[in-house]
Amino acid sequence: MKSLEQKLRFFVNHLRNRYFSLTTKALQADLQRALQKCEDEIPVIIVSYNNASYVKNMTDQLNAYRIKPIVIDNRSTDAASVQILQQLHSDQKAEVVFSQKNYGYLVGFINPIYALLPQYFAYSDPDLMLNEKLPKDFLQTMKLLTDDYKVFKAGFALEIREGLQSATITKYIGYPKMIARTYDFREWEEQYWRFELKHPTLKIYASRVDTTFAVYNKANYFDEFYDGIRVGGDFSAIHLPWYPELDIMTKQERNIYLKKNNSTTSIPD
């Protein structure tokens, strides 16, 4: 018999899915058309919001692998960003889907949208620099890793190198007592490199994965969004906002990006 908490969760999810089903119809139709045009075995979804400089950079990197990403734009308000996205679409470098509402960085996991995606797909924020040694068949390799390790997603590990910004992250822990612990970025990221798994050729780490670039396997979803592994070595990537000397976003662009933003999780102010 279901507990009261489980019944309430089911009821809340039902209402949420009902609401999204009514408000995402245009987005669903546009995404479905983009997926039908996609010639890649594993479609790559990039989420955008007032950060088209990142989107263009990621698109250029993926195009070098003959991958044409699908960009879901969360109703960007910056005219310069919209113009860049329109140009990417016009130049056929990316399929850009313009949402009429900002659904946040998890837009691809709203039930009506998620239902359109195939069993295997890739999903990412755009603020990454890919490894120059990244293998050409990286998508297929990551797909196989989700099967081999029975995980929801296989993602890029994020490099920890010199020049990492000194900003901090505070995490609140509720059990056994409520405490707040502050980490710098280096300390925070080191937790994801702690548990290496056995693999004959790759550096694989058991760790949670948010919306850093990852290949997803819907068959392995068991009510845990962060379930995954990270792949290091030639698969590791650089999170550009953490490295001021490498970051391509200007201060003015960042100010626009952060205003009324519910589409990101980890860009420092």
List pLDDT tens digits, range 197-218: 999 999 999 999 999 999 999 9
Examine residue 236 and state whether it is found in any structural domain, yes or no. yes
Rounded to an integer, the average pLDDT of 236-243 is 94
- The percent of residues above 90 in pLDDT, for the chain, comes to 68
pLDDT given at position 189: 80
Total structural domains within the chain: 1
pLDDT above 80 (res 169): no
CA 28 – CA 214 distance, rounded (Å): 22
Average pLDDT taken over every residue of the chain: 88
pLDDT above 70 (res 252): yes
120-135 pLDDT tens trace: 999 999 999 999 999 9
Answer whether 236's CB lies under 8 Å from 157's CB. Answer: yes
Answer whether 144's CB lies under 8 Å from 150's CB. Answer: no
pLDDT above 80 (res 111): yes
- The percent of residues above 70 in pLDDT, for the chain, comes to 85
Between 210 and 188, the more confident residue is 210
pTM confidence score = 0.85
pLDDT above 90 (res 113): yes
CA 40 – CA 27 distance, rounded (Å): 21
Task: Indicate if the alpha-carbon torsion angle 81, 50, 211, 32 is positive or negative.
Answer: negative
Examine residue 266 and state whether it is found in any structural domain, yes or no. no
Its domain, for residue 24, covers: 4-258
CA 35 – CA 40 distance, rounded (Å): 9
- Give the pLDDT band (50/70/90) at residue 9: low
- Give the pLDDT band (50/70/90) at residue 269: very low
pLDDT given at position 187: 77
- Give the pLDDT band (50/70/90) at residue 4: low
If we measure between CA atoms, which residue out of 88, 92, 109, 78 comes closest to residue 221? 109
> What CATH number did the domain enclosing 121 receive?
3.90.550
- Give the pLDDT band (50/70/90) at residue 179: confident
